[in-house]
């Protein structure tokens, strides 16, 4: 596959979306507006609630396979595509993340496992079905000026329900643990925003108003990897996307993800992925 682009193209929300949200029933095969079988990314969030079927997808160059029931969430920066789907039943909601509180989006990004497997008969699974079905019905009716406000409220209720399942209430005596989790999750969010220019752990520690040692100890205790590894992995992930979507050479990509020395970047890329940048491009694209 050849690709002549010099930037990563993102697909926008469907023109059929009203006020930043659209829900699609998986059994409706005529709603796909771009080729989801080829790697792409979107400028919006996507939440899949699969009630039935088997699925094989690729998200950020990692295969994800599961059998429903399950939840799966894809975020704007993630490269993804469908490899194979059999007997799907359920819903896919695409929505502008600005419609949802930052807290909820952060919980989804940091806590949801792709896939998040469910128990068919659980109350949680039943509640999700009711809400998804209701959002679909309200979207189809669209009878008055308050319809979209209703859908916005239902979406936030749905995502809050999911967040509550992902992060159950913790007792007061776990306040210290809560603080550590907040530090780790905020750090991960900062790496996505600043990996191009912030290469030193001290820069993230300063933004969090803690010492670099405390940040490193906290992140390593919760993830198993030191801060420096997470910073590197954020850069390498963006490099993978650029290698796939653009024809920029390795030197240009190195600069774009914040490395002035292409040779060092090449060695780091191979250390993280076990492939050179060009081997990665050949394997996944050419």
Q: How far apart are CA 286 and CA 280, in angstroms?
A: 9
Q: How far apart are CA 175 and CA 198, in angstroms?
A: 29
pLDDT at 218 over 80: yes
Strands (E), 96-186: 116-117
CATH number for region 10-166: 2.60.120.280
Domain ranges of the chain: 10-166, 174-284
Range name among 52-56, 74-78, 154-158, 208-212 with the lowest pLDDT average = 74-78
Q: How far apart are CA 194 and CA 257, in angstroms?
A: 10
Whole-prediction pTM = 0.83
Please state, as a whole number, how many other Cβ atoms lie within 10 Å of the Cβ of residue 153: 13
pLDDT at 171: 47
- Note the pLDDT tens digit of each residue in 59-118: 999 999 999 999 999 998 899 999 999 999 999 999 999 899 888 888 888 888 899 999
Query: Going by CATH, does the domain composed of 174-284 fall within 1.10.10.60?
Result: yes
Q: How far apart are CA 116 and CA 138, in angstroms?
A: 26
């Amino acid at each position: 596959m050849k690709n002549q682009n010099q930037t990563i193209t993102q697909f926008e929300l469907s023109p059929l979306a009203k006020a930043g949200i659209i829900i699609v029933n998986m059994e409706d095969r005529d709603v796909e507006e771009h080729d989801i079988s080829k790697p792409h990314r979107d400028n919006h969030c996507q939440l899949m609630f699969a009630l039935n079927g088997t699925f094989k997808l690729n998200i950020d160059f990692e295969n994800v396979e599961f059998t429903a029931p399950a939840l799966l969430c894809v975020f704007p920066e993630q490269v993804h595509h469908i490899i194979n789907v059999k007997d799907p039943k359920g819903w896919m909601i695409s929505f502008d993340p600005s419609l949802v509180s930052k807290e909820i989006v952060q919980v989804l990004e940091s806590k949801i496992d792709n896939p998040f497997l469910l128990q068919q008969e659980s109350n949680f699974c039943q509640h999700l079905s009711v809400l998804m079905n209701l959002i679909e019905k309200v979207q189809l009716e669209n009878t008055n000026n308050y319809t979209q406000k209703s859908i916005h409220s239902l979406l936030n209720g749905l995502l809050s329900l999911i967040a509550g399942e992902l992060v159950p209430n913790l007792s007061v005596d776990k306040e210290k643990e809560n603080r550590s989790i907040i530090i780790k999750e905020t750090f991960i969010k900062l790496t996505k925003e600043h990996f191009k220019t912030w290469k030193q752990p001290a820069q993230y520690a300063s933004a969090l108003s803690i010492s670099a040692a405390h940040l490193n100890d906290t992140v390593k205790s919760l993830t198993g990897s030191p801060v420096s590894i997470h910073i590197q992995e954020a850069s390498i992930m963006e490099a993978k996307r650029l290698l796939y979507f653009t024809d920029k050479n390795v030197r240009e990509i190195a600069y774009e993800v914040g490395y002035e020395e292409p040779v060092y970047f090449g060695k780091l890329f191979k250390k993280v992925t076990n492939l050179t940048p060009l081997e990665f491009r050949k394997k996944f694209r050419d």
